[in-house]
C-alpha cells in the first residue's frame, strides 16, 4: 500500500486539486482537476497526467450545496482512483498566516481558530480557504490536514520593507506588510534554481499576474520586498481591486460621501480595479479583445502601474537581472507582457518581438516552462535582461511541504 496526499486550493466559486502518491521517497502526481461553479451550476472534472478524463460530474443550479457535499464527491473520485492506496493527508492553501504562521502547520482546533481570527485581514479569501478544512474534519475526522500560507514566503523580508510609517505600538500589534502569493513565488523560485541557476542567484522580479496580482523582489531565491502588504488590496491594479490607493480617499468616502465601512469594503474588493476602470469586465481576456477605449485604458493602467512598481522593486534589489511572468495574465496575455516591458526599457528589458507573440504557447509545451532564454536588449551598453513567461503548478510545492507531515 502506498500513501497518497491531496493538495487543495479553494476559492469563492472553485476548488482546484491535485493528487500525489509517494514512490521511493519522491512524490508523483497522479492527476489534477477542479470543481468550478460552486454556488451555481457546479462542475467537477478530474484528469490524469495525460489529460484523459478520470471522472466528471455536474450539478444543476442550486444543487450540491456546501463544501462538504462537493468534497464528498471529490473523495469518491480519489478513493476510486487510489484503489488499494490510502489517502493519508490533505494540504490546503491558506492566504493569510499573520505573524504566527511562517511555516506549514498541522491543523488542530487551536490552529484553526487562530486562522479564523485572520479573516478580517483577507475577507475575500480566508473564509473560502478554511471552509474545506472544516468540511474535511466533518467528513474524514481522522485525516491529517496541513495549512500552507501565502504570507510565509515573505516573513523574512528586511524590517525596512515590512513596516509602515505608523506608531511603534501599532507595528508591534501586527499592523505590518505581510505580502501574498507566497506559494506561487516559492514554486517559481524553485523553478528558477532548477532551470536557470545563475539567474536564480541574481536579482529577479517575479510577476504573479492574475485576477489577483502582485510582484516579488527576489534576491538569491529569497523575498526582499513585494507589492501586496497588510491585505491583498495593496499594490498592482487587479481584476476587481484597485491596488495602491491614497488612504485619504477612504477618509473622503467615509466623511463626505457617507459610505459605511461595509460599502467601502465592497467597493475595494468587488467593484474597483479593471472592472471599475473599464466598466466592462474584470477579465483581461475580454479587455484585450475589446475595441472600447475604456477597455484599452484599463489595460494601459494595469501595465503602467505594474511597470512602476517593478521599477521600485529594482531599487530594492539594487538592479535587475531578470523578470519572470506567471499566472493567467502573465502566461497568456502577450500584449500585457509587452506593455509592461516597454515601460521598463530604460532598465534594459525588452521582449524579442517574434517570441513575444508565440512565447507562452511554446513554453507551455515544454514541461515546467522555459526561464533561460534571454531577450535582445543592448541599448545604452547594458547587457540583456531576461524576461520569460513561466507556467506553474504550485500545488506541486504544497505536496512536497505536506509530505513532511504525513507518512507518504
* Catalytic residue set: 150
d(CA 112, CA 109) in angstroms, rounded, equals: 5
Reading the block at residue 53, the C-alpha cell is 478524463
Widest distance between CA atoms in the chain: 66
Neighbours of 338 (CB within 10 A): 16
Residue of 226, 146, 132 lying closest to 188 (CA atoms): 226
Alpha helices in 30-66 (DSSP H): none
Those residues whose C-beta lies under 8 Å from the C-beta of residue 240, and which sit 6 or more positions away, are 211, 269, 270, 271, 272, 273, 274, 275, 276, 282
SS3 217: strand
Order of strands across the sheet that contains 203-209: 222-226, 213-219, 203-209, 322-326, 386-389
d(CA 37, CA 39) in angstroms, rounded, equals: 6
What's the CA angle centered on 205, arms 203 and 206, to 5 degrees? 130
Amino acid at each position: 500500500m502506498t500513501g497518497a496526499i491531496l493538495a487543495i486550493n479553494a476559492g469563492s466559486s472553485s476548488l482546484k486539486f491535485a493528487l500525489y502518491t509517494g514512490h521511493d521517497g519522491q512524490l508523483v502526481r497522479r492527476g489534477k482537476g477542479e470543481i468550478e461553479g460552486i454556488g451555481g451550476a457546479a462542475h467537477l472534472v478530474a484528469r490524469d497526467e495525460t489529460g484523459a478524463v478520470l471522472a466528471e460530474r455536474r450539478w444543476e443550479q442550486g444543487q450540491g450545496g456546501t463544501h462538504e457535499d462537493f468534497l464528498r464527491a471529490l473523495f469518491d473520485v480519489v478513493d476510486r482512483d487510489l484503489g488499494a492506496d490510502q489517502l493519508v493527508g490533505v494540504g490546503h492553501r491558506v492566504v493569510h498566516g499573520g505573524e504566527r504562521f511562517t511555516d506549514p502547520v498541522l491543523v488542530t482546533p487551536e490552529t484553526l481558530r487562530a486562522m479564523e481570527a485572520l479573516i478580517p485581514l483577507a475577507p475575500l479569501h480566508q473564509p473560502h480557504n478554511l471552509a474545506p478544512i472544516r468540511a474535511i474534519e466533518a467528513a474524514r475526522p481522522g485525516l491529517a490536514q496541513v495549512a500552507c500560507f501565502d504570507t510565509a514566503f515573505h516573513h523574512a523580508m528586511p524590517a525596512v520593507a515590512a513596516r509602515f510609517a505608523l506608531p511603534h505600538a501599532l507595528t508591534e500589534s501586527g499592523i505590518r506588510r505581510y505580502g501574498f502569493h507566497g506559494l506561487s513565488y516559492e514554486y517559481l523560485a524553485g523553478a528558477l534554481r532548477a532551470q536557470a541557476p545563475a539567474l536564480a542567484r541574481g536579482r529577479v522580479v517575479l510577476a504573479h499576474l492574475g485576477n489577483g496580482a502582485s510582484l516579488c523582489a527576489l534576491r538569491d531565491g529569497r523575498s526582499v520586498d513585494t507589492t501586496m502588504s497588510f491585505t491583498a488590496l495593496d499594490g498592482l491594479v487587479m481584476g476587481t481591486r484597485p491596488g495602491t490607493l491614497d488612504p485619504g480617499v477612504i477618509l473622503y468616502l467615509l466623511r463626505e460621501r457617507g459610505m459605511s465601512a461595509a460599502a467601502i469594503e465592497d467597493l475595494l474588493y468587488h467593484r474597483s480595479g479593471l472592472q471599475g476602470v473599464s466598466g466592462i469586465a474584470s477579465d483581461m481576456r475580454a479587455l484585450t479583445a475589446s475595441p472600447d477605449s475604456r477597455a484599452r485604458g484599463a489595460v494601459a493602467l494595469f501595465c503602467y502601474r505594474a511597470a512602476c512598481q517593478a521599477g521600485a522593486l529594482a531599487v530594492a534589489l539594487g538592479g535587475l537581472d531578470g523578470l519572470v511572468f506567471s499566472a493567467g495574465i502573465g502566461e497568456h496575455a502577450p500584449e500585457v507582457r509587452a506593455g509592461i516591458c516597454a515601460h521598463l526599457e530604460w532598465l534594459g528589458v525588452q521582449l524579442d518581438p517574434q517570441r513575444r507573440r508565440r512565447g507562452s504557447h511554446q513554453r507551455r509545451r515544454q514541461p515546467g516552462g522555459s526561464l533561460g532564454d534571454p531577450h535582445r536588449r543592448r541599448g545604452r551598453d547594458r547587457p540583456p535582461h531576461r524576461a520569460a513567461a513561466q507556467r506553474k503548478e504550485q500545488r506541486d510545492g504544497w505536496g512536497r511541504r505536506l509530505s513532511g507531515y504525513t507518512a507518504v
